């Protein structure tokens, strides 16, 4: 595991530099001068930040890492539904990138990527470019607003928040609930799977119901699910709704929202018109736009196919994709983004040393949902590589909680604390 | 009996220390490290839990393997560990144990 002197040479300044030669198509100058083998990572969420830290840690700081992120701070999406329930605020979920810079020597570049050139191996931003030997794309998801008539990014920012990326919209949705009169209706629209965080919408219904039960008990939570049934932890969520919030939560399957009337606060599904006081539309999702810039979106015009031994794109050499953008039979979760990031980080180090990646990756996923302020449920699985199918498949075992409990509520908090430290500290 | 247990424990931990001194020099292969990396979400980077969950770093190999087998069989009741332990082979328990035993506390 420890690298020897020869390995250091391969990775350092004296090593082979698989060159990126800036030409006329790349504007401006190199933002961070490149000395040795370099990995550039676009996106500093759970996946990208984990990859950055682990490449530095496992290469004993011999591989340069440049992490490009447009936001100044890291905000955890996992557990952000508890902001709606009232047990956390967004600032509790916000952290900086200082330790990644200071302790691991990761070069942070703040900005928006405008172009990626897979031939010249450069990533362009407004103020110049960054060249790479290998690129990791970790943009999370973007929203397909055009699938719902009347919805767009501006509407989501101003009045009908998705709050599916933790931040300002999460806080706005909480304020809307606070302003709602007792007896009001909160409607949440869930897109067809796959989408980020399969149990997330149902956890959100619990958190909103928790707030309403304690503050506006005559109110209703209406779930309009485009899926034929609850996608994750079905029995546990149904028990939570009927036992903790009796008469408050109504669930409608096969209720895909097609249209929203913003001023009239109505939603149109194939069968119904629904009026609500607070509307939360979680739009259908696709790989983050950076994946399109890199030319790695090759599944249904939405997701990215990868080699699961290295997470290298099936469409572009030397470009890897991790996290929610990947097309896989894996849930799009924060924990799996970090697990994928580590497989990718380890593989990139091996590839840069001229060796083969680990041929038998096995990764785990643990996902907690808070069903009240202090009780949680989980789903957990191990996934391993199947060489014949070239896919990550569930290993034996795995499953959900026997029942919700306060112990699991505590474990969920420990999970958050530990995963954030594993990603950022 | 109690005295005997205490002495036995002292001997075991002395052997443990000796083994640790050796294994900390020995290589833990990259595959074991990669396998163990998934545990970090709940148990911290390299098993250094920062809160709530048990610290796995420096855990005696035999104790780690036995506990995982007990989680897997259900002999030790658990909330989430049963679902994880079922997914790994006994050979993988050994690899995970090697990795965590080699981590400094």
Residue A308 has pLDDT above 50, yes or no: yes
- Predicted confidence at residue B28, as pLDDT, reads 85
Q: Are A329 and A38 in contact (CB under 8 A)?
A: no
Looking at the 3D structure of chain B, how many domains does it have?
A: 1
Higher pLDDT, A22 or A353: A353
Q: Are A204 and A81 in contact (CB under 8 A)?
A: yes
Work out the mean pLDDT of chain A and round it to a whole number. 95
- List, in sequence order, the alpha helices (H) in A216-278: 234-244
Local confidence band at B6 (pLDDT 50, 70, 90 cut-offs): very low
Q: Mind telling me how many Å the CA of A231 is from chain B's nearest CA? A: 19
Coil, helix or strand at residue A73: coil
Local confidence band at A124 (pLDDT 50, 70, 90 cut-offs): very high
Share of chain A above pLDDT 70, in %: 94
- Predicted confidence at residue B15, as pLDDT, reads 40
- Predicted confidence at residue A63, as pLDDT, reads 98
Q: Which of B26, B34, B46, B88 is the best residue to mutate to test the A interface, defined by the most A CB atoms within 10 Å of its own CB?
A: B34
Please report, for the domain that includes residue B22, its CATH number: 1.10.760.10
Q: Which residues contact A348 (CB under 8 A, 6 or more apart)?
A: A39, A55, A63, A134, A136, A310, A320
Sign of CA dihedral A277, A282, A288, A293: negative
Supply the pTM of this predicted model.
Answer: 0.91
- Would you state the structure tokens that stand for residue B84, as one six-digit string? 């994880």
Hey, what domains does chain A have and what are their CATH numbers? Answer: 5-70+111-142+286-358 (3.50.50.60), 153-284 (3.50.50.60)
d(C-alpha A12, C-alpha A4), whole Å: 12
Domain span at residue B74 reads 2-101
Q: Which H/E stretch holds residue A39?
A: strand A38-42
Local confidence band at B105 (pLDDT 50, 70, 90 cut-offs): confident
Mean pLDDT of A287-291: 97
- Which chain B residues are closer than 8 Å to A408 by Cβ? 79-80
* Residue A234 Cα to chain centre, angstroms: 22
Residue from the list A2, A411, A425 with its beta carbon closest to the beta carbon of B80: A411
- Which chain B residues are closer than 8 Å to A378 by Cβ? 79-80, 83
Q: Which of B33, B38, B50, B86 is the best residue to mutate to test the A interface, defined by the most A CB atoms within 10 Å of its own CB?
A: B38
- Which chain B residues are closer than 8 Å to A413 by Cβ? 52
Coil, helix or strand at residue A218: coil
């Amino acid at each position: 595991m420890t690298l020897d002197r020869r390995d250091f040479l391969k990775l350092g300044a004296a090593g082979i530099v698989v060159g990126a030669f800036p030409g006329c198509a790349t504007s401006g100058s190199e933002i961070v001068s490149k000395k040795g083998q370099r990995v550039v990572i676009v996106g500093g969420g759970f996946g990208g930040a984990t990859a950055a830290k682990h490449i530095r840690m496992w290469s004993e700081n011999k591989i340069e890492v440049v992490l490009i992120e447009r936001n100044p701070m890291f905000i955890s999406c996992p557990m952000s539904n508890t902001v709606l329930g009232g047990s956390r605020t967004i600032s509790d979920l916000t952290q900086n990138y200082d330790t990644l810079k200071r302790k691991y020597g990761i070069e942070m570049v703040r900005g928006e990527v405008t172009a990626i050139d897979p031939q010249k191996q450069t990533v362009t931003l407004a103020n110049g470019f960054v060249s790479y030997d290998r690129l990791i794309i970790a943009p999370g998801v973007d929203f397909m607003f055009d699938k719902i008539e009347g919805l767009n990014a501006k509407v989501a920012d101003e009045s009908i928040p998705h709050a599916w990326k933790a931040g300002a919209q999460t806080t706005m949705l909480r304020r809307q609930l606070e302003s709602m009169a007792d007896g009001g209706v909160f409607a949440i629209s869930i897109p067809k799977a796959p989408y980020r965080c399969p149990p997330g919408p149902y956890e959100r219904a619990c958190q909103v119901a928790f707030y309403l039960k304690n503050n506006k008990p005559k109110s209703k939570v209406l779930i309009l699910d485009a899926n034929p049934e609850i996608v994750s932890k079905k029995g546990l969520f149904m028990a939570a709704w009927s036992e903790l919030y009796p008469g408050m939560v109504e669930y409608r399957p096969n209720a895909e929202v097609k249209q929203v009337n913003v001023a009239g606060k109505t939603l149109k599904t194939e069968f119904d018109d629904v009026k609500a006081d607070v509307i939360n539309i979680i739009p259908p999702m696709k790989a983050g736009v950076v994946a399109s810039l890199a030319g790695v979106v090759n599944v249904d015009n939405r997701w990215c196919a990868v080699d699961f031994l290295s997470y290298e794109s099936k469409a572009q050499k030397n470009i890897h994709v991790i996290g929610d953008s990947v097309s896989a039979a894996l849930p799009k979760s924060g924990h799996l983004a970090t697990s994928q990031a580590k497989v990718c980080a380890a593989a990139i180090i091996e590839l840069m040393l001229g060796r083969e990646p680990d041929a038998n990756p096995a990764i785990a996923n643990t996902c907690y949902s808070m069903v009240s302020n202090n009780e949680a449920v989980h789903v957990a699985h191990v996934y391993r590589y199947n060489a014949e199918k070239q896919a990550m498949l569930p290993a034996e075992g795995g499953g959900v909680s026997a029942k919700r409990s306060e112990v699991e509520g505590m474990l969920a908090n420990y999970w958050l604390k530990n995963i954030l430290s594993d990603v950022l500290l | 009996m109690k005295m005997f247990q205490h002495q036995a424990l002292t001997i075991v931990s002395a052997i443990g220390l000796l083994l640790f001194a050796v294994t900390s020099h020995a290589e833990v292969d990259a595959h074991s490290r990669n396998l163990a990396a998934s545990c970090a979400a709940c148990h911290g980077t390299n098993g250094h839990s920062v809160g709530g969950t048990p610290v796995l770093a420096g855990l005696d190999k035999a104790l780690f393997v036995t506990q995982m087998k007990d989680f897997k069989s259900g002999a030790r009741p658990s909330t989430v560990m049963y679902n994880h332990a079922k997914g790994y082979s006994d050979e993988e328990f050994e690899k995970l144990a090697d990795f965590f035993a080699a981590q400094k506390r």
